[in-house]
Amino acid sequence: MFLVRLVYVSTFSKDFQSQDIEAILNVSRENNLKKYVTGMLCFNRKYFLQCIEGTRQSVNETYNRIVTDPRHHNLIILDYKEIAVREFSDWSMGYIPESKLTNDININFGGTSIFSPYDMSGESAFMMMLALKSTVPAL
Ligand SMILES: Cc1cc2nc3c(=O)[nH]c(=O)nc-3n(C[C@H](O)[C@H](O)[C@H](O)COP(=O)(O)O)c2cc1C
């Protein structure tokens, strides 16, 4: 069994309500803990950018559930690769809210001050989550 990391972007399907993201995080954390899936979820009330890591089987099973979820659409995989070690082992699903996606972060890892994950490379998206992980409480 070896490890993989998947990074994808998607678009939220409705107008933001805080209970929506809480519900997504609660079920994600519960399921991911059981399967040793770890990762980060960024959300700016419009787009999701998520990284999930774990065994190939558990990451694929998790993604196959996520992809059919009607709460988001237009999923695009930015990166999928075998990895030697996890980067987000402290988080069953860490959450990076809009307030952390500052102009400086967006300029450093994207082209402009606006968070536009569809325009990011998989590597930039991953590096952005890495840069922010120290600001995210372990969960
Ligand atoms: C943006 C987004 C991210 C999600 N991330 C995860 C995740 O990391 N793990 C997970 O199990 N479910 C995740 N989900 C929820 C799944 O789509 C699905 O609702 C859930 O896995 C079903 O779990 P259940 O069979 O226990 O009800 C996510 C959903 C959305 C919209």
Residue 68 has a pLDDT of: 96
Instruction: Report CA(24)–ligand 1 centroid distance (Å).
Output: 6
Q: Whose CA is nearest to atom 16 of ligand 1?
A: 66
> In angstroms, rounded to a whole number, what is the distance separating the alpha carbons of residues 90 and 13?
29
User: Whole-angstrom Cα distance, residue 3 to residue 133?
Assistant: 20
Measured distance CA(99)–CA(97) in Å, rounded? 5
Q: Tens digits of per-residue pLDDT, 20-38?
A: 999 999 999 999 999 999 9
The fold adopted by the segment(s) 3-135 is Alpha-Beta Plaits (3.30.70)
CA 13 to ligand 1 centroid distance, Å: 15
Pairing status of strand 38-43 against strand 94-96: parallel
Q: How far, in Å, CA of 62 to CA of 87, rounded? A: 18
Q: How far is the CA of 65 from the centre of ligand 1 (A)?
A: 6
Low-confidence ranges of the chain (pLDDT < 70): 16
**Residue in 9, 69, 93, 139 to alter for ligand 1 test, most ligand atoms within 8 A of Cβ:** 69
- How far is Cα 41 from Cα 57, in angstroms, rounded to an integer? 20
pLDDT score, position 13: 93
Spatial separation of the C-alpha atoms in residues 91 and 88, rounded to whole Å: 6
Q: Tell me, what's the pLDDT at 15?
A: 73
Neighbouring C-beta atoms of residue 13, cutoff 10 Å: 12
Q: Specify the residue with its C-alpha closest to ligand 1, atom 8.
A: 28
pLDDT of residue 18: 77
Residue whose CB lies within 8 A of the most ligand 1 atoms, among 19, 27, 62, for a mutation test? 27
Residue boundaries of the structural domains of the chain:
3-135
